[in-house]
Structure 1
Amino acid sequence: MNNIKILPARSSLISIALLIAWLSALFFTGVDYRLLLLTQFVFLLTYFYIFFNLPKSPISLTRNYLSLFLFLFWVWFLLSVNWSESPHISRHNVFILSLLPASFFVYQFAKINDAGWRNISLFLIFIACALSIHAIYQQYALGLSPSSVFINRNSLAALLNIIILLTCSRYLIAINSQKINLSTLLLAATILLMTFVSGLSKSRGASLSLLIALAILLFLAAKPSNRKHIMFLALVVPITLFISDIFSDAKLFSRLSSMTDIESSGANRFVIWQQAWEMIKDHPILGIGPGMFWLIYPQYRLASDSSGGYFVHNDYMQMWLESGLPGLLLFLLILITIGVSFIKFALNKPDRLTEAAGIFCAILAVSMHSLFTFNFFITAHIIITGLFIGRLNELLSNDNKVPISLHRAVKPIIYKIILSAAFLSLSLILFKMWQSNEYQRVANAFIEKNDYASAEQNLLKAESLHANDALLLTHANIIYTVLSSYPKSEIQSRKLLFNKALSLLVASENLNHYRSIIYELRAWLYAKNPDLGPANSADLAILNFKKCLSLDARQYRIRYAYALSLLRRDESEKALNILNAGIAEYYPHEGKHFVPYLELTLRQRFMHNDFNGAMEIAKMIHERVPNNTNLTAEDIYDAVSTVSLDNYKL
């Protein structure tokens, strides 16, 4: 009798915890790590609650291939940190994809009943509607991209597609069991709202995956009794997308029509995929480690690539690249198992086919869309996908359950002590990371005010709790800034700061040697302070300039300094090659800061008798100078081509 009372309350608590974790993840955009830490802590607390109450509330696991593959995927992903190119970075990123199996198993352990799932569904629909209204406000009131809380509007479209398909299945279930009433009208209205906003994204991948998944859902859910409502959804969703297209400058359908020209329609992605494939060929089995793509990709990036370089824009390629071939195969096995299990289930035409079809098609839509974007690397999308897989597994599987009896391995009191100790230890780690992040936020605020003394005090506190490579790098940069303000005569004080900055850079490099800014800052330390370093400081500066460019060829300020250093050593031909190599790179936000680099390139081309090439650079400079200067490209050419090298400063 006690268990009957405990289980519903237990399921409700776990459901609330999952929704809190999802909401926290929803607002995490890669900047405020407090939100990610909150998601981590809620999951940790939920697992602790489940396993601590094992004697009173037994749990079980479905004995099937889906549970096995998800468990193996989780284990492999955790193990992949050990052979990562930078384990320090991968340890911070491994948690994100781990949310998929973590959400799945929590759903199984929670024993959420139909009423609980209905409440979860309604909550998700409510939040999706709120995000949709926010996106409409952004589009029409603020003139911003309709992305709501996401950085990328495709990410919002992907989430909405999941909820749209869930809502469509709920609408069909409701309409079969009752006549049209307020609740069914509200469901229909939410479908229209979310579809309209999904269309505002102008995402071809999102729209196509939604329409394909919806067609499959309507085919599976079709019955003679609901034919009108099937037709309603079959017409209203594409029509709403069309209306949305009209209200967003009619770009969606023109972009869809452009897909007939495969080469031009995916040009940017093809550039990324081409180089991502080169990375895969260099690391085909074990991969480079979770979260490492954006750090290593600049070494492979083509000059024509205009992307941010943070994602492959194909989750399956990125999964192979980061977690290795076993990681990709296990993930594909998860999706294949879901598909095969659902087909077997659907062939029997069970009573709950419409609900199962809605959830399956939602998973299908996000999986198809992930061929062209990065849905499975967004925390909110991963959690909701894991929950949907958990619910679908419950609908498809039989009663073949395996009880989890970890508490029986030792005495109950010892079991609880071990579990509590593990929970407190992990919670302490998360707390230290949280507090360290807080000190770093305060330090950044002081840096903006140029209060470097207060900033350093907070950075030291942050490092004592949880030192990471970015934190150490920020600290080194502060020391460099302070050092630059000291009079040259204060040799002893400058020497202390110089050595301190170098030691911080070494510590940062030991944690992650793929950050180009480490070598940039070290190069500047040697180049600007030759009196503080060894006799070969100039050589060390050039060596670090070169290392920085090998990690990221788009560091044009470094390229300028590197070339200028070579010119001062009479290595003119080599300097020109360095400058010319950088001209072809894509610089989306260079503006006027790019002009000194262009001027030096113009001068060197002129000195090497490349007069046509020098004029091309003059035209590039002319595009960047203010319109009121009345300078022509020829004027710039004449003025810059013979400037003395002494006029160029590091």
Structure 2
Amino acid sequence: MSAQISKALPYTGTLLVIAAFVMGLFFGGYRDVHYAPAIACLLSFSMMAVLPSLRDKLIVPAAPMAMLCFGFWIYVTLSIAWSTVPFASLVTYLVFLALPLCFFSPLLSGHPQAWLKPLFIAFMGVITICALWAVIQFTVLHGQFGTRAAHPLPNPNNLAGLINLGLLPALALFIGVREGNNKYMALLALCAVLFAGLVATESRGGFIAMLFGFATLAITLRHQPQSLWKRVLVIVLTGSIVFGMVTHFGGGRFAPHLLQIATFGIDPSSLARVAIWENAWPLLRDNMWLGLGLGTFYLYYPSVRMPGADDSAGNWAHMDPYQYGIEMGIVAPILFYLIGFALMFRVIKSISALERNDNHKVLIMGLFAAVFTLILHTHATFHMYLMPILIIVGVWLALLYDLTRTDNSYVEIEFAGWQKPFMGVIIVSFAALIGVMAASSAYAQINLLKAQDYLNSGRPEQFTLAIQQTEKWAPRSFIDSELQLASLYIDLLNPEQADALFGIDEQMHLYEQSNMLLDIADSQNPAWAEIPYKRGLLYLTRGNMGDAEAAFKEAIDRDHMHFKARRALADLYLGYGRAADAFNLLSEGLEYPHPIKVREEFLPLMRELKPLADIQNNYNSFPVTGSDEVNE
């Protein structure tokens, strides 16, 4: 390989990582396929970085921090084997891979700084663009994007975490730059823009975590040649001006919210998080050793959610180590914290050995403060499940590892003869395996979406072909196609049309096929409430009211917010004359977060039921005499 090509490789790799970052920004869950091309870009970057190093010798990071990161990667990989919902775990694992790929690949290249320097510069630029976009959303486009800047991430707190990853290094560089240097004003302007973006998110957790990170910088960089307190004063004054200007557009509500935390005030957001942690405790307690499966929290939390407890979507625990424990067992958060402590000890040891005015110290502390801030903040949100943030964390950790290198940080492994191509085959095979996993999952999802469109537009033949394509390419754990097909069969078995379309034997065959498809789906996703709901509808086609009632109850037990199951069960109760039970069931459902259309559907029926429900409730409240049994 020529020197010119070798020099160009890191810049090409940087473009690939930036492309993965951008695609990851718009990833919206396992039904979204943005993760597949993003993973393809990261795998290409990894092979570009690692494969050329095999020509000479492989330099492997071997310090405790690197070993713990590798151990965590292996443990997360193994956890898929015992996941209760394998496909959800697979997609989440593909997202998680962004961190180890971005951490290990530059370090294994043999020339980490050649790869990491352009990545650092590029991501500081990308984060600055995100901060500017946050300010634009907050000041100009709040009508389209809401009162707090969040786009394109799912939550304002996540955007705050992303911005902090750039703000803390920028603050460190500003503290370290010499006066009179032409970078002084540029760095101050960069800090102002990033801070403005942070304020535009109105994330109190992000703001407070940033203050802890800034305090860390002030303490550790106090011996810089520049006057620290003069720099801190400039930062505070500039920050105050930016804070006042940005919050002015938000009606001045952010400052009172911050003061509410400072005075230990109680607010709905904090109460909601505490409610989630409290409600989710049984999930951790009952699955402490192995967990339920990576990426499955959103499936199991609805079963333990209490009415009126919180108004969240219920997709995240809003404390990543806690969610790691629920999903992968207690070992996962232990490894997470061990990596954090190993990083801290490594940084302390490194900066203690450096001269007080060593420029490396400034960048090391800026990167460490950024990661430290993110770790603090992720105890109140879900940063470590988002690919864009994982990519930057991986790069920042790699930079920290190399900047703090010692004689024992790397070990050299030389390959002779056949070993070089053999290792190349191993690396390419690993990348190909991950690529196939991502591609097959994404392609199956694309075909499923096509199938749904065909079904909604009344084209059953195209629907069947699309389902066949889905089953052909999908991993075995992908059971959405089985549920879709069972749903079609159940609709066809509707008593109002089944006799006109099918004979008795054909109806029985469809019934048995539907049951089999639902059994397959249930074996791969025992938490999905839609499966027993569909089974209840299937039982109704045969007039099996008792089994239908049990199935609808199971759906509600799995997800208290499955409003279709509540309505179906309420209709059954009404058929039995149990108006009070139907009223109470619907009323309880409205105590959970719900779409407005659910309220519009439930309330008219509840108004009709209330007089009769009151009579039944009053009758059932009378004491029963002469018997220990209570009539239902």
TM-score by length of 2: 0.87
1:530 corresponds to 2:530 = no
Q: Distance in 2 between matches of 1:465 and 1:588?
A: 35
| Aligned match of 1:458 | 466
Alignment of 1:405-420 (within 5 A): 405=413, 411-417=419-425, 419-420=427-428
Task: Pick closer, same or farther for the CA change 1:13–1:317 going to 2, 3 Å.
Answer: same
What is the one-letter code of the residue matched to 2:450?
Answer: V
| Aligned match of 1:281 | 285
1:491 corresponds to 2:490 = no
| Aligned match of 2:572 | 565
| Aligned match of 1:124 | 123
Contact conserved, 1:486 with 1:494, CA < 8 A, in 2? no
Contact conserved, 2:297 with 2:327, CA < 8 A, in 1? yes
Cα offset, 1:362, TM superposition: 0.4
| Aligned match of 2:170 | 167
Cα offset, 1:588, TM superposition: 4.8
Q: Distance in 2 between matches of 1:158 and 1:395?
A: 23
| Aligned match of 2:208 | 208
| Aligned match of 2:562 | 555
What is the one-letter code of the residue matched to 1:491?
Answer: F
| Aligned match of 1:327 | 332
Per-residue Cα deviation, 1:153-173 (whole angstroms, up to 9, x for no partner):
211111011111122233344
Alignment of 1:4-19 (within 5 A): 8-19=7-18
Q: Which deviates the most, 368-377 or 245-254?
A: 245-254
Cα offset, 1:309, TM superposition: 0.4
Cα offset, 1:93, TM superposition: 1.7
Q: Distance in 2 between matches of 1:244 and 1:518?
A: 48
Cα offset, 1:116, TM superposition: 4.8
| Aligned match of 1:622 | none
What is the one-letter code of the residue matched to 2:542?
Answer: P
Q: Distance in 2 between matches of 1:110 and 1:417?
A: 17
Cα offset, 1:357, TM superposition: 0.8
Aligned with residue 300 of structure 1, among 300, 304, 312: 304
| Aligned match of 2:376 | 368
Q: Distance in 2 between matches of 1:349 and 1:55?
A: 33
What is the one-letter code of the residue matched to 1:562?
Answer: L
Contact conserved, 1:456 with 1:478, CA < 8 A, in 2? no
Structure 2 residue runs without a partner (length 5+): 622-632
Q: Secondary structure at the match of 1:33?
A: coil
Alignment of 1:309-348 (within 5 A): 309-348=314-353
Task: Pick closer, same or farther for the CA change 1:555–1:413 going to 2, 3 Å.
Answer: closer
Aligned with residue 503 of structure 1, among 513, 516, 519: 516
Q: Secondary structure at the match of 1:518?
A: helix
Aligned with residue 470 of structure 1, among 480, 497, 500: 480
Contact conserved, 1:21 with 1:39, CA < 8 A, in 2? yes
Q: Secondary structure at the match of 1:313?
A: coil
Task: Pick closer, same or farther for the CA change 1:241–1:475 going to 2, 3 Å.
Answer: farther
Q: Distance in 1 between matches of 2:599 and 2:584?
A: 23
Aligned with residue 377 of structure 1, among 378, 385, 397: 385
Q: Secondary structure at the match of 1:60?
A: strand
Identity %: 20
Q: Secondary structure at the match of 2:107?
A: helix
Cα offset, 1:489, TM superposition: 2.6
Q: Distance in 1 between matches of 2:129 and 2:491?
A: 45
| Aligned match of 1:272 | 276
Alignment of 1:636-647 (within 5 A): none
Task: Pick closer, same or farther for the CA change 1:116–1:77 going to 2, 3 Å.
Answer: closer
Per-residue Cα deviation, 1:25-51 (whole angstroms, up to 9, x for no partner):
223232663321122223333444455
Q: Distance in 2 between matches of 1:53 and 1:213?
A: 38
Per-residue Cα deviation, 1:179-223 (whole angstroms, up to 9, x for no partner):
343x54343323222211211211110111112212322343343
Q: Distance in 1 between matches of 2:428 and 2:391?
A: 25
What is the one-letter code of the residue matched to 2:14?
Answer: S
Q: Distance in 2 between matches of 1:556 and 1:29?
A: 23
Task: Pick closer, same or farther for the CA change 1:189–1:83 going to 2, 3 Å.
Answer: same
Cα offset, 1:91, TM superposition: 2.4
Task: Pick closer, same or farther for the CA change 1:127–1:272 going to 2, 3 Å.
Answer: same
Q: Which deviates the most, 579-588 or 156-165?
A: 579-588
What is the one-letter code of the residue matched to 1:170?
Answer: L
Contact conserved, 2:50 with 2:109, CA < 8 A, in 1? no
Cα offset, 1:442, TM superposition: 2.7
Cα offset, 1:114, TM superposition: 4.7
Task: Pick closer, same or farther for the CA change 1:372–1:420 going to 2, 3 Å.
Answer: closer
| Aligned match of 1:634 | none
Q: Distance in 1 between matches of 2:117 and 2:291?
A: 40
Q: Secondary structure at the match of 1:59?
A: strand
Q: Distance in 2 between matches of 1:157 and 1:203?
A: 6
Task: Pick closer, same or farther for the CA change 1:196–1:417 going to 2, 3 Å.
Answer: closer
Task: Pick closer, same or farther for the CA change 1:85–1:441 going to 2, 3 Å.
Answer: closer
Contact conserved, 2:307 with 2:588, CA < 8 A, in 1? no
Cα offset, 1:463, TM superposition: 1.9
Cα offset, 1:74, TM superposition: 0.9
Q: Distance in 2 between matches of 1:453 and 1:596?
A: 39
Alignment of 1:235-274 (within 5 A): 235-259=237-261, 260-264=263-267, 266-274=270-278
Task: Pick closer, same or farther for the CA change 1:180–1:196 going to 2, 3 Å.
Answer: same
Q: Distance in 1 between matches of 2:426 and 2:277?
A: 46
| Aligned match of 1:71 | 70
| Aligned match of 1:152 | 155
| Aligned match of 2:599 | 591
| Aligned match of 2:629 | none
Cα offset, 1:603, TM superposition: 4.5
Q: Which deviates the most, 143-152 or 426-435?
A: 426-435
Per-residue Cα deviation, 1:128-147 (whole angstroms, up to 9, x for no partner):
23223333333323512321
Q: Secondary structure at the match of 2:59?
A: strand
Cα offset, 1:268, TM superposition: 0.6
Structure 1 residue runs without a partner (length 5+): 532-536, 614-650
Relative contact order (alpha carbons < 8 A, sep ≥ 6): 1 or 2 greater? 2
Task: Pick closer, same or farther for the CA change 1:159–1:495 going to 2, 3 Å.
Answer: same
Per-residue Cα deviation, 1:574-629 (whole angstroms, up to 9, x for no partner):
65664564454443532312225524651442331549x9xxxxxxxxxxxxxxxx
Cα offset, 1:425, TM superposition: 4.5
Contact conserved, 2:35 with 2:438, CA < 8 A, in 1? no
Task: Pick closer, same or farther for the CA change 1:490–1:194 going to 2, 3 Å.
Answer: same
Q: Distance in 1 between matches of 2:174 and 2:82?
A: 48
